[in-house]
Amino acid sequence: MKTMRNFRALLPALVLLAACSNPSGPSNAQSIPDLAQPTRRAPSDPASMKASFSPVVKKAAPAVVNVASRRVVRQRVDPFWDFFMGGGAPREQVQGSLGSGAIVRADGVIITNHHNIEGIVEGNGDITVQLADRREFPATVLLDDPRADLAVLKIDTKGERLPVMAIDDQEQLEVGDLVLAMGNPFGVGQTVTNGIVSALARTDVGAADFGSYIQTDAAINPGNSGGPLVDMDGDLVGINTFIISRSGSSSGVGFAIPAAVVKQVVNAALGGGHSVVRPWLGVKGQAVTAEIARSLGMTAPRGVLVAQVYPGSSADRAGLKEGDVILSIDGQAVNDEGGGAFAIGTHKVGDRVPMQIRRGERDQTLTVRAEAAPDTPARDERVIKGRNPFDGATVVNLSPAVAQDLGVDPFAGRGVLITRIGQGYALNAGLRPGDFVREINGRPINSVADLNAAVTAQGRAWNVTIERQGQRITARLVT
């Protein structure tokens, strides 16, 4: 536990000490310090640290960077072009993004947000990192993790050792702890704001399916994304990622990705990985509401009511059943699906994790083995070519591993998912990433092999059925 927690209660005493150095009182004029020319010195203990955040900033600021990206995107003239009408010729547009980051290894390894560099990994843009001393370097992407909204960058320092910010994934943050948000809001340059931890383990804020966010009232604005949330030791306890605001500016409701997730992503990148392998529970459920709690005889609404258990998953083998209520995983309370995914996902593959559940009127503990999501059916990903409606589309067999990587529902059933639309007929046909291909000319499509066989058949007219956001759409497309 850090020692800086209860500063605020010491403030009145500190003010009194600063104003009077003689315990007998101000009657002796010589005992009153010259307030016009105060002596500046680094605080030496927790109480004196309250007088200024300057020592913390001096330690942390050299490791804070600006991240600028520039990418080329293809857009339709009408962004609301209807699926049934086909599309017009797309046009290219250059888009820029300005964010922040933190140096986490002295040879130039940097952590930032995925959304700061989104689209760059396809090779249609570039990334520039500006250090605190204003030097600029081109950066490459070591690992991009859209699910956690994190990316690891690397710059070539030519052997120079850079200032580093430690990732403190052991800090036991509490609501009310002092924190600093550092970054480059609105592109004005490196800036520091202070506040407190407003809440912990926010999983129901709609940002991603994997996350348990730190909420803070430290001012976070556009451009702060990817910058560090810093504790009073100058260590990184989170990466600022988004805000909730009606105006688009800080309203005191900002969110940061916890250091445990940051370290997981950085370690994966430094280990040579191009993606993060996270354990998967294999459960679909819903938060226990007050009404559900009453129906189950629970005294208060808590936990996740299990609706489905994926056959053969770690949860299935641990003995979890439909109708069970997951109360906690490894001692961490779970109140929605996102919380469960986070609680198991931050463990290492192979860990044995206790899970407390309620079954009927009794609480009991199961032991779940942390395992990666299965990649079955086999991952068959390819770009479809030829004169057919899917020309230029990248498709893949749906498996729990693919679903986890892409943030889609692994319980959607077997099928083929469109992951990317490139140059080709598919771009003008109205197909989109995230569409499931269900039928072609009345033939069910259960695999990429099925789709490839269907589109290589002779023909120029195609009845295509896709599933988009839970709704089936059928259209006749002519090539």
- Token readout for 266 is 């950085």
Q: Where are the beta strands (DSSP E) in 174-234?
A: 178-183, 191-202, 213-216, 228-230
SS3 151: strand
With contact defined as beta carbons under 8 Å apart, do 330 and 346 qualify?
no
Average pLDDT over residues 254-272: 93
Percent helix, strand, coil in the chain, to 5, is: 20, 35, 45
The enclosing H or E element of 308 equals strand 304-309
CB-based burial, 350-373: b 16+ in 10 Å, e otherwise: eeebebbbbeeeeeeebebebbeb
CA-to-CA distance for 252 and 221, rounded, in angstroms? 10
Checking if the pLDDT of 3 tops 60, the result is no
Q: What integer best gives the mean pLDDT of the chain? A: 83
Q: Tokens 């046909």 identify what position? A: 429
Active site residue 204: no
**Whole-number pLDDT of residue 8:** 39
Checking if the pLDDT of 406 tops 50, the result is yes
Query: Ranked by mean pLDDT, which of 12-21, 94-103, 154-163, 168-177 comes out on top?
Result: 154-163
- Catalytic position from the list 97, 212, 225, 314: 225
Active site residue 347: no
Average pLDDT over residues 394-422: 88
- How long, in residues, is the chain? 479
- Token readout for 433 is 């990433």
**Whole-number pLDDT of residue 21:** 40
Cβ-based neighbours of 334, under 8 Å, separated by 6 or more:
303, 304, 326, 327, 328, 340, 343
β-sheet bridge partners, residue 328: 333, 356
**Whole-number pLDDT of residue 22:** 43
With contact defined as beta carbons under 8 Å apart, do 225 and 68 qualify?
no
Surface-to-core class of residue 8, CB atoms within 10 Å of its CB (0-12 exposed, 13-18 middle, 19+ buried):
exposed
- Catalytic position from the list 100, 115, 217, 324: 115
Active site residue 149: yes
DSSP character for 167? Answer: B
Predicted TM-score (pTM) above 0.85: no
- Token readout for 130 is 């500006």
With contact defined as beta carbons under 8 Å apart, do 203 and 212 qualify?
yes
Average pLDDT over residues 85-95: 52
Average pLDDT over residues 339-349: 88
SS3 116: helix
* Of 124 and 155, the one with more pLDDT: 155
- Catalytic position from the list 97, 114, 144, 149: 149
Q: Which of these ranges, 94-103, 114-123, 217-226, has the smallest mean pLDDT? A: 114-123
**Whole-number pLDDT of residue 42:** 56
**Torsion of Cα atoms, 257 then 262 then 268 then 270, to 10°:** 140
Radius of gyration, CA atoms only, the chain: 27
pLDDT in tens, 26-72: 444 333 334 444 455 555 676 665 668 889 999 999 999 999 987 65
Q: Where are the beta strands (DSSP E) in 51-112?
A: 64-75, 91-105, 109-112
**Torsion of Cα atoms, 379 then 385 then 388 then 393, to 10°:** 50
CA distances from 135 to 64, 65, 110, 185 (A): 12, 10, 15, 19
Q: Which amino acid is at 94?
A: V
Surface-to-core class of residue 193, CB atoms within 10 Å of its CB (0-12 exposed, 13-18 middle, 19+ buried):
buried
448 φ/ψ angles, rounded to the nearest 5 degrees: -65, -35
- Going by pLDDT thresholds of 50, 70 and 90, the confidence category of residue 221 is confident
- Token readout for 54 is 């300057």
β-sheet bridge partners, residue 381: 396
Q: Tokens 């930032």 identify what position? A: 112
- Going by pLDDT thresholds of 50, 70 and 90, the confidence category of residue 24 is very low
